[in-house]
Amino acid sequence: MSNSEIDINTFFESELRAGTIIGVEALKSARIPAWVLEIDFGPLGIKKSSARITKLYAENDLLGKQIIAVVNLPVRQIGSVRSECLVLGLPASDEPNTAVTLLQPERPVANGTRVS
């Protein structure tokens, strides 16, 4: 196994789930602009995340949008925010601080649905 490969069971330990953004506010203390997102994961509850996605998404663009996030990582303190999940996205380039496009379901799914 090379350094970039992981065991399939390790991968399956990650819980990638769908959630709906129900709250958005600017992370005022951030050096790089970011949003604080409140995301409804249905039976898993509401979790917060800090996301550097301000280049492509305004507050109104995000409210009601379904996204994919990893929900079983340890809580991470990011400035004044306790980030409880990791919202997933794809960078537009390899350059630092590039725009990020969110990963999202093609069609609406129940909040908390696990990616399979």
| Domains of the chain, earliest start first | 15-102 (2.40.50.140)
- Please give the share of the chain, as a percent, with pLDDT higher than 90: 73
Residue 98 corresponds to which tokens in the numbers above?
Answer: 């590039």
Helix (H) and strand (E) counts in the chain: 2, 9
pLDDT digits (tens, 9 = 90+) for 69-106: 999 999 999 888 999 999 999 998 887 777 899 999 99
- Residue 48 and residue 39 in contact, taking contact as beta carbons nearer than 8 Å: yes
Using the predicted structure, report yes or no on whether residue 66 has a pLDDT greater than 70: yes
Prediction pTM value: 0.90
**Residue reference for tokens 């400035």:** 79
Q: What is the pLDDT of residues 90-99, one digit of tens each?
A: 998 887 777 8
